[in-house]
Structure 1
Amino acid sequence: MSSKEPVLEIQGLCVDYGLGANAVQAVRDVSLTLHRGEVLGLAGESGSGKSTLAYGLTRLLPPPGVISGGKVIYHQPGGDPVDVLRLNDAGLRAFRWAETSIVFQGAMNSLNPVHRISTQLTDVLAAHQPGMSRAARLARARELLKLVGISADRLDSYPHQLSGGMRQRVMIGMALALEPQVVIMDEPTTALDVVMQRQILRQLVDLRERLGFSVLFITHDLSLLVEFSDRIAIMYGGRIVEEAPAAQLYRDSLHPYSDGLLHAFPPLRGERRELTGIPGSPPDLRSMPSGCAFHPRCPKAFDPCGSELPLLGVPVDRPDESRTVACWLHPGA
């Protein structure tokens, strides 16, 4: 179960691609808090900045990506908070996998095709726990496979000998090898069929309840987040435009973009409804629209939307501190 205690705080994070006047700002002043034991969903169309945010907060940005502002505060159990963006190489190496791990989008691309599963699992343990014996590492590898529902005899398999769902579960097991406090999942089920998606996510939720880690779950499929997340943040044009408890967002979304995403998939329960898309395309980050970035596609846009940027805040017409929105239909306090 989640608590109100923060484990990871993103404060005003900005990420650019390139330098100087030609820099493209992919993440714009994003602030999010992940609480201990919570599943926080992050949704948005491709190009909205979701993966860039994940790679920025873990300092895994490929060139020419640079972090141009903000803080990422990690609250380590029993220790002082640390700013991940200020860690030296040794501190960063200790932070990754041991405190925060990441499950990447393509499991086949993340696993080395020429090494057996046993080698890849034990290499993680050898790198971070050099004092661990080979027998202990193999025992832990078997335990990790069992944890994610895979028979231990698959340790001798190569990645191509496993199904897509099994490869993804191996990656989840690898992410849990050092018992991290935070697991970041970047579109982990995109290439899988819907049955396998649900199986893996139910297993993930079960593991979260047993082990107590927190999850930042990134996807373009809002239907998955509604079903499995505690809270959901919606991202558009590099900014957070709405954040609310999952059930509340599903029943009563405030931002027109959130509403458009919700009407792009069939309802989970109740009467059938017509599916509608969102007209137009996501904004070009090199030439963002003035005012609200969504206004050129928004069916409810009015005068201030095209000229003034709405700030993320608690809506004055819905004074509920559990949700925030950046929309002139519901201006913030």
Structure 2
Amino acid sequence: MDDAVLEISGLSVDYGLGEGAVRAVSDVTLSLRRGEVLGLAGESGSGKSTLAYGLTRLLPPPGVVASGKVLYHPGDGTGAVDVLALSPAGLRKFRWGQTAIVFQAAMNALNPVDKIAKQLTDVIHTHRPNLGRTERIERARELLGLVGIPADRLDSYPHQLSGGMRQRVMIGMALALEPRIVIMDEPTTALDVVMQRQILAVFSRLRRTLDFSVVFITHDLSLLVEFADRIAIMYGGRIVEEAPAAQIYRAPLHPYSDGLLHSFPALRGPRRELTGIPGSPPDPRSLPSGCAFHPRCPKAFDPCDSQIPLLGAPASAAGERRSVACWLHPVSGTVAGAGPTEPVETNTVV
């Protein structure tokens, strides 16, 4: 794709090696376009963060990328970069310089014994060693200004800041080197709803100003409906639906997507009963046969418990830029009677 900055193809991530390995992410294919916000939604344990850490090679042991490809397009005419094949030096330049992450727990991500000034300037000095101390301090002041924090807070320790300010410091740190991709791993989970909106407003303004692309990871689909351009829904380590945010909100195709949407109250219109989703997400060590969602699905029928549905463009949504993996919306080319674990083909729409 001409406007893609990141392409993920067939990415699978395991924890452990050999027969005892547990597959946490299975055969994920996605793309991120320039200036786009791609939302990644799903319950805890669905594989969202593992996918993000896998594509940036930040998986903690014993996590390993089992298969797949991650291509980064720098947009400077030099051609695509295979992230999974980068040398340690190349990977160091890619991280933070081209792709940055805003981690979920800002208090844990910031060093409690160092002042904010040192933590911001250390990032700048590591990647741009030619800058002098005065220039680094000035850049740190600019970064705090970008996220709406007074410059005198450079002399504060993390515990002297509120939760929202710490999260904004992390956003500023992520933007220190003006990356083209920013991955946000549930950055508003520990904040109240008022602070959530403030953080998202700041980030939306920065994205428009600096023109970077975003992968926004959260379990709160209501946030993504407002903030994201496209949404990919994950369950059991797989993408089960992907579509523009408006289509997901108005007409979700997968029962799991529909369940997530009915798990939060509507912002407008008449009151409605919150139904939620019965049961719990599956244990990745013993996933159900067939569609992993079928034990919790109110619409499950014969093929669901024995055959894995393909992710692709459903015939019922002809002409729309969306994909779904559900037997209620079969993909063209699906062969009846396919084995329980072997998909016939992949028609992923990205």
Pick the TM interval, shorter chain.
over 0.9
User: Helix, strand or coil: the match of 2:167?
Assistant: helix
Q: Partners in 2 of 1:271 and 1:39 — Cα distance?
A: 29
- Structure 1 counterpart of 2:329: 330
- Structure 2 counterpart of 1:260: 259
Matched letter for residue 219 of structure 1: T
- Structure 1 counterpart of 2:113: 114
Matched letter for residue 136 of structure 1: E
> What's the offset of the Cα at 1:284?
1.0
- Structure 2 counterpart of 1:206: 205
Q: Partners in 2 of 1:317 and 1:264 — Cα distance?
A: 25
- Structure 2 counterpart of 1:69: 67
- Structure 1 counterpart of 2:55: 57
Residue 16 of structure 1 pairs with residue 14 of structure 2: yes
Post-superposition CA distance 1:200-253 (Å, at most 9, x none): 011111110110000000000001000110000000000000001001100000
Mapping of residues 1-333 of structure 1, within 5 Å: 5-78=3-76, 79-333=78-332
Q: Partners in 1 of 2:306 and 2:168 — Cα distance?
A: 47
TM-score by length of 2: 0.94
Q: Partners in 2 of 1:211 and 1:240 — Cα distance?
A: 29
Post-superposition CA distance 1:92-147 (Å, at most 9, x none): 00000000000101000000000000000000000000000100000000000000
Q: Partners in 2 of 1:295 and 1:98 — Cα distance?
A: 42
Matched letter for residue 98 of structure 1: G
Alpha-carbon distance change, 181 to 164 in structure 1, aligned in 2, over 3 angstroms? same
Q: Given that residues 43 and 232 in structure 1 are in contact (C-alpha distance below 8 angstroms), is that contact kept between their aligned partners in structure 2? A: yes
Post-superposition CA distance 1:57-80 (Å, at most 9, x none): 000000000100000100002121
Q: Partners in 2 of 1:127 and 1:321 — Cα distance?
A: 45
Post-superposition CA distance 1:12-31 (Å, at most 9, x none): 00000011111000000001
Q: Given that residues 48 and 282 in structure 1 are in contact (C-alpha distance below 8 angstroms), is that contact kept between their aligned partners in structure 2? A: yes
> What's the offset of the Cα at 1:321?
4.0
User: Helix, strand or coil: the match of 2:104?
Assistant: coil
TM-score by length of 1: 0.98
Post-superposition CA distance 1:240-291 (Å, at most 9, x none): 0000100110000000000000000011222211101101111111111111
Matched letter for residue 55 of structure 1: Y
Matched letter for residue 36 of structure 1: R
Q: Given that residues 142 and 152 in structure 1 are in contact (C-alpha distance below 8 angstroms), is that contact kept between their aligned partners in structure 2? A: yes
User: Helix, strand or coil: the match of 1:200?
Assistant: helix
Give ranges in structure 1 of 5+ residues lacking alignment.
Answer: none
Q: Partners in 1 of 2:29 and 2:262 — Cα distance?
A: 26
Give ranges in structure 2 of 5+ residues lacking alignment.
Answer: 333-350
User: Helix, strand or coil: the match of 2:166?
Assistant: helix
Q: Partners in 1 of 2:197 and 2:330 — Cα distance?
A: 37
Q: Partners in 1 of 2:202 and 2:331 — Cα distance?
A: 38
Q: Partners in 2 of 1:210 and 1:109 — Cα distance?
A: 28
Q: Partners in 1 of 2:317 and 2:133 — Cα distance?
A: 58
User: Helix, strand or coil: the match of 1:311?
Assistant: coil
Q: Partners in 2 of 1:47 and 1:240 — Cα distance?
A: 13
Matched letter for residue 331 of structure 1: P
Q: Partners in 2 of 1:176 and 1:272 — Cα distance?
A: 40
Q: Partners in 1 of 2:148 and 2:269 — Cα distance?
A: 33
Matched letter for residue 18 of structure 2: G
User: Helix, strand or coil: the match of 1:92?
Assistant: helix
User: Helix, strand or coil: the match of 1:317?
Assistant: helix
Matched letter for residue 287 of structure 1: S
Q: Partners in 2 of 1:185 and 1:270 — Cα distance?
A: 30
Alpha-carbon distance change, 4 to 321 in structure 1, aligned in 2, over 3 angstroms? farther
Matched letter for residue 284 of structure 1: D
Matched letter for residue 14 of structure 2: D
More moved, 105-114 vs 318-327: 318-327
> What's the offset of the Cα at 1:4?
6.7
User: Helix, strand or coil: the match of 1:327?
Assistant: coil
Percent identity for Structure 1 against Structure 2: 75
Q: Partners in 2 of 1:134 and 1:176 — Cα distance?
A: 19
Instruction: State the Cα RMSD in Å.
Output: 0.9
Post-superposition CA distance 1:273-319 (Å, at most 9, x none): 11011011111111111110000000000011011110100001111
Count of aligned positions? 331
Aligned structure 1 segments of 4 or more residues deviating by more than 4 angstroms: none
> What's the offset of the Cα at 1:329?
0.3
User: Helix, strand or coil: the match of 2:317?
Assistant: coil
